[in-house]
Structure 1
Amino acid sequence: MAETETLDSSSHPTENEDHDMPDADKSAKDSGSDSDSQSSSDSEDDAQQNEQIQALQNELLNNPSNYDTHVQYIKTLRKQGDIEKLRQAREAMSAIFPLSPEMWQEWIKDETSLSSGPDALPAIEKLFERGVSDYLSVALWSDYLSFIQEHDQSVSTLSAAGISKARNLFERALVATGLHVAEGSRIWELYREFEQAIFLTIDETDANSREKHVQRIRNLFHRQLSVPLADLSSTLLAYKAWEAEQGANLDVDSSNLDGLSPHLASLYQKALDMMNARTHHENQISRKVEPESERLQHFMAYLKFEQSLGDPARIQILYERAITEFPISSELWLDYTNYMDRTLKTSSLVRDIYKKATRNCPWVGELWVRYLLSLERGHASEDELSAVFEKSLQCTFSSFEEYLDIFLTRVDGLRRRLSSLTSGAENSSLDYITIRETFQRASDYLSPHLKNTESFLRMYRYWALLESTLGKDLVAARGVWESLLKISGSMLEAWQGYIAMETEMGNINEARSLFKRCYSKRFPGTGSEDICNSWIRFEREYGALDDFDLAVKKVTPRLEELQLFKLHEAKNAGVSVDDRDNSSRKNVREKRKSVSNLNEEQSPAKRHKDKAKNVKITSEDGKGQAKDTAKVNNTKPDIAASKPASGSKKENKEVSSGKPPQYNDQCTAFVSNLNLKANYDDLRRFFSDVGGVVAIRILTDKFIGKSRGLAYVDFSDDEHLAAAVAKNKQTLLGKRLSIAKSDPKGRKKGGAAHGSSSKQGDGADQTTENSKSGAKDSAEDSKGKGPQPSSHQRASNIQLKGKNTFAMPRAVRPLGWVDKDKPKPKESGSVEDENPKSNDEFRKMFIKSSS
């Protein structure tokens, strides 16, 4: 077109020629002014098109995988008429994407219009071959067959070679489209027309040749009548008419089967029944107005129906029809390739299908993985496998796990090939270098995205295994683990994998050195404790006594440090909540202070009592209670079983009167370092193998209701208690418990024994002698001197020892405790004390006692 415009513009006359022109010529020139304006308009359109083409070229340069831009670029170039650029654009798009049947038809039409001589025939045939391999298209196959009959001289002249070539092409077309229910009859009809054209050229005197050809055409009819096609009844009428021309006595206007051979009638009836069974599905998928999602579901239902009948050829044709309609449906491609893998595992047809699948849906990593496996099953060359692998890495996947899967699939194939090699060491070494390079590429690309993940660790473990087994290089295997530690050194599993490799190989000293390197590292969760315990267990199984002692020496302070750190964290978490509660209570007191100075007049014992109320015990049913009504299996605990016999009557009386029950911890285990999330059921299960559990008390904070990590477990006898204490240092919910016998009387000797709780709100022990004597002194002093802070002073003077010093308040005498054997002061048991006093009454009482 550009050359034509150049020629037209050069033929225009110049201004000097205009003066000598005749009138007729002048009028002709005047009329040519319109053409000049038209040319100007065309020039503007060309400039616009050039700008558009340049913009599309730049866009494709930046993003060559933009399908829509390729289509628009080809349309613009075709409109402009630049044949060379148009060819290049089509080739570029075809190298990345499959072209639609309509695009192939346009391309072939353009090339045929330019040159249709014998020299152009091979190039156009090649275009047809490429087109029919992209998608199933009956129309494109029909054009191909028609083109060969028209432009191939050997076929058009019906030479022996031409007839053979055409028949081979027709048979290929029938394999590809002959079972297409809706459109397949077009190919059958073209085939019959070709054979009938040959029949007309046979000399009438050659009866033998004519009879053979009649039988060939009859076989074509019989083949077509045995296939369920849309216009099966029309084909029957055409066959009967043709047989009538050959002299048969048939009713050509009727669709009945009279006059047909029993075999043909049976085949036709079977095909008709099959067609009727598929009519509903054909009608469903032919509705173009429905949404694509619904039409796809109709195709899937149709495929399920065909698969139930089990004809692989018919199923494959239907899959090809579906992907022609929905070429970028990854669900459909995965289903198609999966079916073909099950039925034709090693066929070259399966590899071709995978090639089409990865061209239509290059962003689906699973398709590339299956493609590589299909090539390996088909014993493809290393060059082909490598080319497909490299091409897959150029695609964009939705997750990095898909890239890892492709890398590992490639390594698997190389490993299998290396394992089956029987050649010399040189080839084996070369192949293993390829494995190492593949692993290294995977690590370089994926480490920024997958480090500290289980999948990345799995890849490195696989790599180290192959280095030691196939590569026969232990130093390289260690280098792999060291590389992983540089990337994911904070991952406990990386160290464990490295240690496991050395241990399995019998390299005990190397494994021990790894424990020494990592036992002091900080790992997430309970990882730090786990690696310490693993070292101890390792030395028990493999080490000498000196090695075991060294491990214990190293690990013990580390475990204590971790324990203190966790307790500090738990304590800080509780303090932060208490601070907020205290600040709110402080604000209330400050507001009340403006009205009354009771806060200054309040006794130290009273303040200590208020503070003690901040702690409560959670009973087995998980509910904190102000008064101790703890239950075991929804029944009251046996108070008499846990208290001395001499005081059982008094204590039962206290319970019946509503006072808190008393615990002397005669057969009780003190549990510390308890997971803050542990509940009664967890402790019950933990001691289930011991048995004899009578009651469980979990200490919780009164205001926030959270566990303090401490518990008391009462047992029925000493035998069960001893078994429970033997479970010391065992793990519950990721925490190693400290379990000891609760011994409140041990406080007499200045020891750090665990106290018992006489009241579940303050945790003091009523059975200690020091507490009794202190209470008597306090009661006597209160007679003449008024309220004194003796109880508080005694509590503050207690010397705390041991690790669990925060548990010691249980051994302190409870505030307000009085000796029940001594006569009670009148004030302590009177009804007046129970009635609330006014501010003035309290002030007068306080002034009187102070004086």
Structure 2
Amino acid sequence: MAEEAHFEEEALEKTVLSPIPESMEVTAGADSSPGEGSESDSDSESDSDSEANDKLQVQTLESELYDNPSNYDAYVQYVKLLRRMGNIQKLRQAREAMSALFPLTPTMWQEWAQDEAFFNSGPDACPVIEKLYERGVSDYLSVPLWCDYVNFVQENDPSVRECSPAGISRARNLFERAITAAGLHMTEGNKIWEAYREFEQAILHTIDESDTEAREKHVQRIRSLFHRQLSIPLVDLESTLLAYKTWEVEQGNAFLLESAELDKIFPHVSSAYKKAVDMFHVRAQFEEKISQQDLSETERLQHYLVYLKFEQSMQDPARVNVLFERAVADFPISADLWLDYTHHLNKTLKVGNIVRDVHLRATRNCPWVGELWVRYLLCLERCRSSETEISAVFEKSLQCTFSTLDEYLDLYLTRVDGLRRRISFAGEAKDPLDYISIRETFQRASDYLSPHLKNTKTLLHLHTYWARLEAKLGNDLVASRGVWESSLKICGSMLEAWQGYIDMEIEFGNISEARSIYRRCYSKRFPGTGSEEICQSWLRFEREFGKLEDLDHAVQKVTPRLEELQLFAAQQELKVTDQKENNIKKGIREKRKSTTDMTDEESPVKRQKESTRPKKTNGNNKSRPENAAELGEDQDSKSKADEADKVHEQGKKDTHSDKPKVFTDQCTAFISNLDPKTTNNHLREFFTDVGGVTAVRILHDKFTGKSRGLAYVDFVDDEHLAAALAKNKRMLLGKKLSIARSNPKKGRKDSAGHGAASGEQPGKVGKSALNDAVETSQEEPRLPPRPESAAHKRGLEDVPLKGKNTFATPRSVKPLGWSASKPKTTNEGEEENPKSNDEFRQMLLKK
């Protein structure tokens, strides 16, 4: 009964002293005076409106959290609203759900513990609240939370309050944990030291004065606490030293008031104190920068990083750990901080519960960083954790969203590595595993990553690793080949995939299987020089492993393929050369054009200078040559210039005609009735069963760039051409093709006859048809038609229009009705003799 009365008094006292939420306060209600009735009615109405509004907000937040349980801000608002309403049942559920997803701030843990202490009392409530404090101090470093924790234990734990040996031991263990966690905190750590000393001094007062030995032992314990605190760089070290001297005086050591006496009696304490003061002064500038309130978050984080580098250079792991804890408490979602922190622990401690706890907290604060999950899995493996725990962490990591696919791949590979090590060293594992776990992990990784990483080296590395483990660790060569076959479906255009498959078969001595793979892939098209490399690799393989018949067969298959590749490479090189020449000529034309523009710009000035020169005029003030001789000289100079231009143009034509012809049409199929949408790839696929295609040329209109429905397809030899002609009248893109052998000589004769009949030069049409063919390879798309130059446009404008399609009339064709042998008229003949000044004057007077 006495204990129950004691607990009732304690609960009553706690109810009076505990901070009560505003919504939980009891209103006056019926105890109010009669004059205040109207005010109480209005207050009740406002309270009812506020309560209805709160319920509506609660429903809204519950709906949001149901749709998105990872909404941190919604959880914070939800908890605050329930706490204001005083709904303790829903409040507990909300806090539990939130703490399962996110680490809570120290303030949230303090409020949670205070609310539980307010609503619960008695001996059963103390363990529940202590568990809340334990969970709180494990999330972040917080000196106020540690102080609340130790104060709660001292006030509410009966064994501690009664100073029983078990209670004293429990309290000391709790204080030592607090000092280990936050005792090195430069600005707040002294609070825990002072609380620890006050607790020990309170115990000293309970010891009987007659028990001298026990009192002396306890005095030594308190003195040791002072010495430990004085050796740490904390704020107010001078006040701590003064308190220590005062305490020593109380114990009867008055001579310690002088610092010189302290040096003589406790030289190690004095030396440690001076060293701590020096350390504090060195770090004071860093503490000042990280504690400034007017800085942005980025600047404060940068100051933390500089401070951490300094502490790491001092090589004191304990101080580095405490500073990291302070940094992550201020910046909990900084991935760089957690990466640096875990790297520091893996380098200094490597194993232990502390390292595992930090990795767990890192993944809770930054679950979107795949590297943190990888380090967590490796940490669990170093700590010899059970397979159940490691598997649970791996499954939880896959539920997170990462920014890159490489992070997912790294996670899968880390999991496979751990399983492989456990199976390889099964004697050291706690529980035996089956190879099926590795196979399932590989299959999950392939199913998830293959649609996104086709034809990439990362995915190929995954399948190579998988196939090797199937063959060596799983002892299943058939399963290994199945992995390679599935990999070829995804990465079949990569030479490395085929070569890896072949290397595995050679490694296991399966020569015939390797040969069959070479036969499947030697004709495939690989990027770069991969096609030549696979052919040469097959020849080397047959020289090293095969018979003479196998080598002859490989040479027979590979030689045409190599010739085809060499021809294609030569064509590509010729294209590049022509492109370079065209660029050079274009640059020269642009340079000449710029020079002409400069001349045109200067010509008005020249004309102005010439206009200022004195000129000979006749009586009518008309400027003209003095006599016929000058006029004849002008005409002679013009005719010479025209002849020089003709010679220059003829030289250009001769130079152009000296270029070698790339397409001779000796082994070419002429195709007509093509769909306008037909491309080179369509024609190559159409003749895939025939083979031997070296080039495809689709004819396009020179001005519009549209397909003319005609094409030339070159083949290696007549045998392939004959097979291609057999596909005449076959359908392609909904049109029946007409395929015939190309006969360039016949085309030139026909075009020559047509040109003679129409007044054109012989062979002109056949050559223009060949020039209209624009060859476009698969690697290089067809260029759009080249725009006409300004000079060409001016030339077209000078040609009179005569009927239809006169814009395509060649420049060399003379206008109809003109002949070089046509006799000149009389007027033209008269113009040959220049007129005199008198004749010009008379002619003008007549007009």
Residue 103 of structure 1, aligned match among 102, 108, 125: 108
Tell me which residue corresponds to 1:410: 415
Residue 453 of structure 1, aligned match among 445, 451, 456: 456
Tell me which residue corresponds to 2:58: 53
Aligned partners of 1:284 and 1:93: how far apart in 2? Answer: 33
Aligned partners of 1:54 and 1:119: how far apart in 2? Answer: 33
The amino acid across from 2:276 in the alignment is A
Tell me which residue corresponds to 2:696: none
The amino acid across from 1:42 in the alignment is D
Unaligned stretches of 5+ in structure 2?
A: 1-19, 594-642, 660-760, 768-812, 823-847
Tell me which residue corresponds to 1:206: 211
Residue 119 of structure 1, aligned match among 121, 124, 140: 124
Tell me which residue corresponds to 2:534: 531
Of 246-255 and 195-204, deviating more is 246-255
| 1:605 and 1:791 in contact (8 A); partners too | no
The amino acid across from 1:264 in the alignment is V
Residue 274 of structure 2, aligned match among 259, 263, 269: 269
Aligned partners of 1:535 and 1:604: how far apart in 2? Answer: 59
1:141-176 deviation per Cα after TM superposition (whole angstroms, max 9, x unaligned) = 000000001111111111121111111111111111
- Equivalences for residues 249-648 of structure 1 within 5 A: 249-250=254-255, 252=257, 257=262, 260-422=265-427, 430-565=433-568, 610-614=652-656
Q: Does residue 222 in structure 1 map to residue 227 in structure 2?
A: yes
| 1:284 and 1:298 in contact (8 A); partners too | yes
Aligned partners of 1:258 and 1:408: how far apart in 2? Answer: 61
Distance 1:66 1:197, change over 3 A: same
Distance 1:131 1:8, change over 3 A: closer
Aligned partners of 2:68 and 2:250: how far apart in 1? Answer: 63
Deviation, structure 1 residue 574: 8.7
| 2:256 and 2:262 in contact (8 A); partners too | no
Distance 1:42 1:380, change over 3 A: same
Aligned partners of 1:127 and 1:494: how far apart in 2? Answer: 56
Of 97-106 and 50-59, deviating more is 50-59
- Equivalences for residues 70-149 of structure 1 within 5 A: 70-149=75-154
The amino acid across from 1:162 in the alignment is G
| 2:255 and 2:261 in contact (8 A); partners too | no
| 1:397 and 1:403 in contact (8 A); partners too | yes
Aligned partners of 1:226 and 1:511: how far apart in 2? Answer: 73
| 1:460 and 1:480 in contact (8 A); partners too | yes
The amino acid across from 1:476 in the alignment is A
Aligned partners of 1:603 and 1:298: how far apart in 2? Answer: 78
Deviation, structure 1 residue 335: 1.0
SS in structure 1 at match of 2:478? helix
1:324-364 deviation per Cα after TM superposition (whole angstroms, max 9, x unaligned) = 11111111111111111111112221111111111111111
1:677-711 deviation per Cα after TM superposition (whole angstroms, max 9, x unaligned) = xxxxxxxxxxxxxxxxxxxxxxxxxxxxxxxxxxx
SS in structure 2 at match of 1:448? coil
Of 524-533 and 153-162, deviating more is 524-533
Distance 1:184 1:603, change over 3 A: closer
Aligned partners of 1:571 and 1:116: how far apart in 2? Answer: 93
Of 90-99 and 409-418, deviating more is 90-99
Of 487-496 and 253-262, deviating more is 253-262
SS in structure 1 at match of 2:124? helix
Q: Does residue 195 in structure 1 map to residue 226 in structure 2?
A: no
Distance 1:115 1:150, change over 3 A: same
Aligned partners of 2:264 and 2:428: how far apart in 1? Answer: 69
| 2:423 and 2:434 in contact (8 A); partners too | yes
Aligned partners of 2:94 and 2:763: how far apart in 1? Answer: 97
The amino acid across from 2:311 in the alignment is E
Deviation, structure 1 residue 80: 2.0
| 1:257 and 1:265 in contact (8 A); partners too | yes
TM-score by length of 1: 0.64
The amino acid across from 1:514 in the alignment is I
Deviation, structure 1 residue 469: 0.5
Of 486-495 and 389-398, deviating more is 486-495
Aligned partners of 2:577 and 2:650: how far apart in 1? Answer: 20
Aligned length: 599
| 2:290 and 2:304 in contact (8 A); partners too | yes
Deviation, structure 1 residue 39: 3.0
Greater relative contact order (CA < 8 Å, ≥ 6 in sequence): 1
Deviation, structure 1 residue 301: 1.8
| 2:248 and 2:256 in contact (8 A); partners too | no
Aligned partners of 1:271 and 1:615: how far apart in 2? Answer: 93
| 2:184 and 2:234 in contact (8 A); partners too | yes
The amino acid across from 1:488 in the alignment is C
Unaligned stretches of 5+ in structure 1?
A: 13-23, 589-600, 618-788, 796-838
Matched-pair identity in %: 61
Deviation, structure 1 residue 545: 1.8
Deviation, structure 1 residue 418: 0.8
| 1:484 and 1:494 in contact (8 A); partners too | yes
Deviation, structure 1 residue 566: 5.4
The CA RMSD over aligned residues, in Å, is 4.0
Q: Does residue 156 in structure 1 map to residue 167 in structure 2?
A: no
| 1:226 and 1:268 in contact (8 A); partners too | yes
| 1:155 and 1:163 in contact (8 A); partners too | yes
Deviation, structure 1 residue 127: 0.4
